[in-house]
Amino acid sequence: EFAGLLHPSTRMECFTWGLLVDLAVPLLAQHHTATYGRILERWHAGEGELHALEQEAFGWTHAEVGARVCRDWELPEPLAAAVEDHHAEGPEPGRCPPGVQLAAILCESPEHSGVERMVEVAAARYGVPEPVTQQLFATAQAKAAQVASVFNV
């Protein structure tokens, strides 16, 4: 939804980028079960941002691992760069679209969803007023619920 507002020319690509930015999370959970499980628990409890907790524990992040996977799979470099920079505070222009960066702020924990932070960043970094961000988020949630219902999730 944010892509349509902030950079409509890459709206469709943002859907793909959005699906791939966290592709390394399940891989890391499988290969570093105990340590990564604790990191995810801390993230869900609101003890920090996922990439910061990963950096603290491992010295690298799921964004870096995801970009490496994209490059190993020989996906287009703009996609790998967007995956790599989706949590960056000031990535190189064009490496990660604003809509993808805003979505990356969210957490799947209902208690610590990240919506407030996303609203703040949307206003500060991209000049999107709070009511607009809230409406875009509500629209995205409704669409996600429709998709989830197809899979009985």
Q: How far is CA 108 from the centre of its chain?
A: 11
- Report residue 91's pLDDT band, with 50, 70 and 90 as the boundaries: low
Q: Where are the domains positioned within the chain? A: 2-150
Q: Which residues contact 50 (CB under 8 A, 6 or more apart)?
A: 25, 39, 40, 43, 61, 62, 87, 107
Positive or negative torsion for Cα 19, 73, 58, 86: negative
First to last CA, the chain: 21
The pLDDT tens digits of the residues spanning 27-86 come to 999 999 999 999 999 998 889 989 999 999 999 999 999 999 999 999 999 999 999 999
Q: Round the average pLDDT of the chain to a whole number and report it.
A: 89
Helices 62-72/50-58 angle, 10° precision: 90
- Report residue 94's pLDDT band, with 50, 70 and 90 as the boundaries: low
pTM for the model stands at 0.81
What number is the average pLDDT over the span 10-20? Answer: 85
